[in-house]
Chains A and B, each alone.
Chain A
């Protein structure tokens, strides 16, 4: 029986050095995978940042285009927004307000004192 056990042990012992390189390879693989994964995350973050910047720019551009539409929509003949006629129309449409009219309510109250 003893003779039978001994060779078994001998069989197991030479296997040990074979397991260690496998573990090392596995560890290396894991590290490589983690690094690759993190690089992928970094790339994704960079792409996300680039896209968010792009959307900010488009958001900034769209509101500028929108307000310029109403004046041209009001005009029967579409004018170039930087044409002399459009510029003069825009200037003429600017209302400075009537200051004396704005003070009427105050003046009425003041006179009742």
Chain B
């Protein structure tokens, strides 16, 4: 019986160990895929890629892109949750500062502006993040089309450069959005006479910051557009496809 018990324990430990090892492999397998972020690079590395391989790779890259987008959203959401207490603390602080203001209506307006300013920041950073995600999807499509052109022997070096520039612009605007989402705007109240100027300062600060973020996102959009325009200069680029199974036999003929 002892032997049975010992062997049972040993085997149970082996079973748990095996499951543990398999589970531990999960996070190590996934980061291997992130290395491949561009289908154009993939097709350059592997000449003669079949349509099936191409679609699989593209799906992987899309998944990775969406995974990154979700991560960023979660990061921003976590940051916002942390900011909630900060916003609340500053609201209390503002109420204390407003004690010196006699006009109750003005007090209410100042508090309302404080809420509106911080709420607008939250809403517009979310909006810019959505724009950025759309741009990333468009850029992925450009990369896909460029990869198909590359597979058919077209020169895509200019498109590749434009795609790289667009990726950089997207990364820059992502950073700008992240930083913007982490900001809290609170006015410093001096006197009742300077109330409008004091509160106007946070309005202006938010406006300036959002303009800067918008310009960064606009720059990313223009970079993506440039990549699309460069791609469109390849003759009959829309007709080019990856061979279904046999490379270089079922491709669309080119003039």
Instruction: Please give the residue numbers on chain A whose beta carbons come within 8 Å of chain B beta carbons, in ascending order.
Output: 27, 30-31, 34-35, 38, 41-42, 45-46, 49, 53, 60-61, 63-64, 80-88, 90-91, 94-97, 99, 102-103, 105-107, 109-110, 112-113
Contact = CB atoms under 8 A, between A and B. Distances in A.
B188 to A, nearest CB: 15
Nearest to A92: B225
Contacts of B15: 38, 41-42, 45
Interface of B: 3-4, 7-8, 11-12, 14-15, 18-19, 22-23, 26, 59, 62-63, 66, 106, 109-110, 112-113, 116-117, 120, 123-124, 127, 131, 134-135, 137-138, 141-142, 144-145, 148, 195-196, 199-200, 203, 207, 210-211, 214, 217-218, 221, 224-225, 228, 231-232, 237-238
B127 A97 contact: yes
Contacts of B231: 84, 87
B127 A42 contact: no
Contacts of B137: 90
Contacts of B66: 63-64
B145 A96 contact: no
22 contacts: A30-B4, A34-B7, A35-B7, A38-B12, A45-B18, A64-B63, A84-B237, A87-B141, A87-B228, A91-B228, A94-B131, A96-B214, A96-B217, A97-B124, A97-B127, A97-B214, A102-B120, A103-B203, A106-B116, A106-B117, A110-B203, A113-B199
A42 B141 contact: no
Contacts of A99: 124, 207, 210-211, 214
Nearest to B23: A49
Given A27-B4, A64-B59, A109-B109, 4 more contacts: A64-B62, A91-B138, A102-B123, A103-B203
A110 B141 contact: no
A35 B9 CA distance: 11
Nearest to A113: B196
A35 B123 CA distance: 61
A112 B109 contact: yes
A34 B11 CA distance: 9
Contacts of A41: 15
B109 A96 contact: no
A77 to B, nearest CB: 13
A112 B103 CA distance: 12
Contacts of A49: 19, 22-23
B7 A96 contact: no
Nearest to A103: B207
A90 B19 contact: no
A91 B110 CA distance: 39
Contacts of B199: 110, 113
Given A41-B15, A99-B207, A88 B228 contact: yes
B113 A84 contact: no
9 A-B pairs with the lowest CB-CB distances in the bound complex, closest first: A82-B141, A113-B196, A82-B144, A38-B11, A82-B145, A83-B238, A64-B62, A84-B232, A60-B63
